[in-house]
Structure 1
Amino acid sequence: MSDFVLQDAEAHYGATRVLGPLSMGIEPGEHVALIGKSGAGKSTLLSLMYDRWQAQPVALMPQALGLVDTLSVFHNVYMGRLDRHRWWRNLATLARPFRRDVDEIAALLDEVGIGEKRWTPCGELSGGQRQRVAAARVLYQQGALLLADEPVSALDGPQASSLMGKLTQGYPRSVLAMHDLDLALGFCTRIVGLRDGAVVLDAPSNTLDSASLQDLY
């Protein structure tokens, strides 16, 4: 049985229920795309999953990205493993990063196409560059499950496809809130459609096409 299971889960804003009750599990090898129009509950479901499962090795890439603008690209990516080092090592890295960390992160930044910005403060980057930094951070962090909210929305076609491939290959399972149906179908193994906080579709991606999903929008 999967370690990542929701059973009759609900989310509320005040006294109002905005999601669920719903039950679902994420098995090893599954890459799940959450689709549905704005307000359907995709981000709320990701937040609920993270709240329930964060004691396990879960990486989160929120839509707001969570970057520290005054820190360099390198340091923002390094933050993905802060909890694995002693406090003094993390403090020392702020002033003089260790060569092993620099080399590992530099190679990862090259993979996502932003290697030349390694020492640039994140506040000086474009939206697409910031998204690639956040993606590099979760790839550096690693774990058993990736939760990501619109992880490639600021990128164009080839860049979006490349980064989607790296994210789904970098984790044994993932749940990704997506707005691009072609990318969702191309890189995810399972499609979960939401409407008004309820699951109205849950099917293997190879049984679906973009046209069959349009009524969710």
Structure 2
Amino acid sequence: MPAVFSLENETIAYDGFTALEQVSLTILPGEKVALIGKSGAGKTTLLRRLYQLRPSDSAFVHQHHALVPQLSVFHNIYMGRLDRLSVLENIRNLIHPSRARLRQIRPIAATLGLEGKLFEKTCALSGGQQQRVGIGRAIYRGGEVLMADEPVSSLDRVRGEQIIRILTDTSKTVISSLHAVDFARRFFDRVIALGKRRVVFDLPADQVTDDRLRSLYG
């Protein structure tokens, strides 16, 4: 089975700073992979590097949402496919959303608890609601891979669990950074831990023990 991603002893740097060193990993189609580690360990850097390798058939949930605040929830979700549609169709839907696009986007918004907010400006929403809009945009974009950078950081645990379930159930291959380690162990097949600019361990989720986590975060 061809790999979705493969890195071999790769060093990842930006602005003269080495963020990760000697990273080797292979991710296969259908895997659900969680990235864990302390803040600054390189999780976002690794996600961005992987996204660079195949942006055309991947969707990305940004940690800081990356929404257009003056546009509605509908239009921010619609932007997930902006580069896949014609200029004419994009202009039409900016002025007056088509029935076809509404039929596609309404169920996504409803699944995320945003059904009553579809035509509200995103700047009027709470941080947690904005985060769900960003997730909706990624789901609407679709593709072979969904990558998410702390997708539930602004949500309470109940809503966060719902969103993680949606992401892992609706996407073929998922790679997500998480602070909630229990979510990583419960909802993902595999956990990659980063620390001191390197991969500390790469294990099936059911082999990530409390001792390993204490060592990682201690």
TM-score, normalised on structure 2? Answer: 0.95
Structure 2 distance, partners of 1:101, 1:171, is 20
The letter for the 2-side match of 1:31 is: K
Structure 2 distance, partners of 1:154, 1:138, is 17
Structure 1 distance, partners of 2:60, 2:186, is 22
Q: Tell me the residue number matched to 1:193.
A: 193
Q: Tell me the residue number matched to 2:8.
A: 7
Which 5+ residue runs of structure 1 have no aligned equivalent? none
Per-residue CA distance 1:32-62 (angstroms, 9 max, x = gap): 11100011111111111112222x4011111
| Offset of residue 155 of structure 1 | 0.8
Partner SS, residue 179 of structure 2 = coil
- Conserved 8 A contact 1:35-1:194: yes
- Conserved 8 A contact 1:194-1:201: yes
Per-residue CA distance 1:81-120 (angstroms, 9 max, x = gap): 1122110110011111101111221111011111100000
Q: Tell me the residue number matched to 2:69.
A: 69
- Conserved 8 A contact 1:82-1:90: yes
| Offset of residue 30 of structure 1 | 0.9
- Conserved 8 A contact 1:142-1:170: no
Structure 2 distance, partners of 1:84, 1:14, is 31
The letter for the 2-side match of 1:179 is: H
Structure 2 distance, partners of 1:32, 1:127, is 25
Q: Tell me the residue number matched to 1:143.
A: 143
- Conserved 8 A contact 1:39-1:196: no
Residues 22-37 of structure 1 aligned to structure 2 (within 5 Å) = 22-37=23-38
Structure-2 change in CA distance of 1:211 and 1:100 (3 Å): farther
Partner SS, residue 81 of structure 2 = helix
- Conserved 8 A contact 2:4-2:29: no
- Conserved 8 A contact 2:34-2:177: yes
Structure-2 change in CA distance of 1:85 and 1:14 (3 Å): closer
Q: Tell me the residue number matched to 1:127.
A: 127
| Offset of residue 11 of structure 1 | 1.3
Partner SS, residue 67 of structure 1 = coil
* RMSD across aligned positions (CA): 1.3
Residues 153-192 of structure 1 aligned to structure 2 (within 5 Å) = 153-192=153-192
Moved more, 151-160 or 67-76: 151-160
Q: Percent identity?
A: 38
Structure 1 distance, partners of 2:214, 2:193, is 11
